[in-house]
Amino acid sequence: MSGGALLELVGISKSFGANQVLADVHFTVGHGEFLTLLGPSGCGKTTSLRIIAGFEEPDQGRVLLRGDDVTILPPYRRDVHTVFQHYALFPHYNVFDNVAFGLRLRRLPPDEIRGRVTEALSLVRLSGFESRRTTELSGGQMQRIALARALVGRPALLLLDEPLGALDLKLRRGMQLELKAIQRRLKIAFVYVTHDQDEAMAMSDRIVVFQHGRVEQIGTPEEIYRRPKTSFVADFMGSANILSGRLTQVREGCVRVRLEDEVDVEFPYAEPLPVAEGEELCVAIRPERISVRYESELALVGDCVQIPARLTDTVYLGDETQLFISPFPKSGKTLLAASMDVRHQAERQKDAPIWADIRWQDILLLEPPGRA
């Protein structure tokens, strides 16, 4: 059942009083895998991590580590280490003693401790900092020390709870690449918590998207971005225009969908359908996948639907231009298109009649919200 996974969560549920925080959570982590738990604040990421680490017991479900049930084992009996957002370094110790702390508790020989600490510090590029006091370090350096302290014990699994959350954006981007490189080199499995989609996309082998204590979708960054299963995932990963519609016809690999204002679109669709013919669904289209064409211009590609609309507003953002378009005047629903094409900066024809061209492959058909 665990299929050789390093870690498996089986049907984990947890409530605090009347507040259900996790509901039937399942996922696995492979050996050496970088798995990210992603979701908005309060969705249960930290609680999941605390259950894996053993700081919290689930109400239901089991935690399996290499196939062994560790659900009720205390943290120190699990081959797991946690790195928190707040570094939890000892301020009165120097760097060496901070990193060596766990090894001394385990009473390893001093030579081995010295060797391992030196190796861990070199890994986080802080060789030579051994006798510095932690109060003399920058935020990025402190987080690297916290990481060295976690790696020095060579756990099979490292849990990281928003470890870069306290760093400014530029430093964070650099640390993301470093962390990922270290994880690859050591082949330690990471369960990494973040609420930052870009961070999750940049670092993970797979992502578990959470909402309200439930797993919405598990997949590689590309799968989650290209084939989101729900409108929540579509909008949370990147952004998306979400329309409600009805699947009015399914014939020989082609679908017809009725959108707002009774606008019908018909196109080939190769993916599994989320609902049956006749039912309501959601249609998600990413802003960068809508190309705006002025009425007089010819369509460049054939494999797309062409929806007539008006351009209601443009916002120039430097590297891209946002175009607000109105294809559904009766319902008033507008779509956002994002374009890097410079001609949109020049023309800015307010209220111009346009075509919104959307390639068939970029139309995502999803379950309506609240059906899962």
Ligand X SMILES: Nc1ncnc2c1ncn2[C@@H]1O[C@H](COP(=O)(O)OP(=O)(O)O)[C@@H](O)[C@H]1O
Which residues of this protein are in contact with ligand X, per CB under 6 A?
A: 16, 19, 21, 39, 41-47
Of the pair 98, 176, the CB lying nearest Mg ion is at 176
Of the pair 46, 134, the CB lying nearest Mg ion is at 46
| Residue of 28, 36, 46, 176 that binds Mg ion (CB under 5 A) | 46
**Separation of alpha carbons 28 and 208, rounded Å:** 10
Residues contacting residue 158 through CB under 8 Å, at least 6 positions apart = 80, 81, 82, 83, 150, 151, 183, 188, 189, 190, 191
The site for Mg ion, by CB under 5 A, has a size of 1
Question: Which range, of 42-50, 171-179, 278-286, 345-353, touches Mg ion by CB under 5 A?
Answer: 42-50
Shortest distance in whole angstroms from residue 75 CB to Mg ion = 17
Shortest distance in whole angstroms from residue 41 CB to ligand X = 4
Shortest distance in whole angstroms from residue 45 CB to Mg ion = 5
Q: What's the chain's Rg over C-alpha atoms?
A: 25
Three-state SS for 139-176 is HHHHHHHHHHHHHCCCCCEEEEECCCCCCCHHHHHHHH
Shortest distance in whole angstroms from residue 37 CB to ligand X = 8
Of the pair 46, 314, the CB lying nearest Mg ion is at 46
Of the pair 46, 339, the CB lying nearest Mg ion is at 46
Helices (H), the chain: 45-53, 95-105, 110-123, 139-151, 169-186, 197-203, 221-226, 231-236, 343-347
Residues contacting residue 150 through CB under 8 Å, at least 6 positions apart = 81, 82, 83, 158
Of the pair 21, 95, the CB lying nearest ligand X is at 21
Is residue 194 near Mg ion by the rule CB under 5 A?
Answer: no
Of the pair 46, 197, the CB lying nearest Mg ion is at 46
Shortest distance in whole angstroms from residue 71 CB to ligand X = 18
Residue 287: count of CB within 10 angstroms of its CB: 17
Task: Answer with the entry of Mg ion, ligand X, none that 285 interacts with (C-beta below 5 to 8 A by kind).
Answer: none
Task: Answer with the entry of Mg ion, ligand X, none that 42 interacts with (C-beta below 5 to 8 A by kind).
Answer: ligand X
Q: Give me the amino acid identity at 187.
A: K
Q: Please check whether residue 85 is in contact with residue 134, taking contact to mean a CB–CB distance below 8 angstroms.
A: no
Shortest distance in whole angstroms from residue 7 CB to Mg ion = 19
Where on the chain is the footprint of Mg ion (CB under 5 A)?
Answer: 46
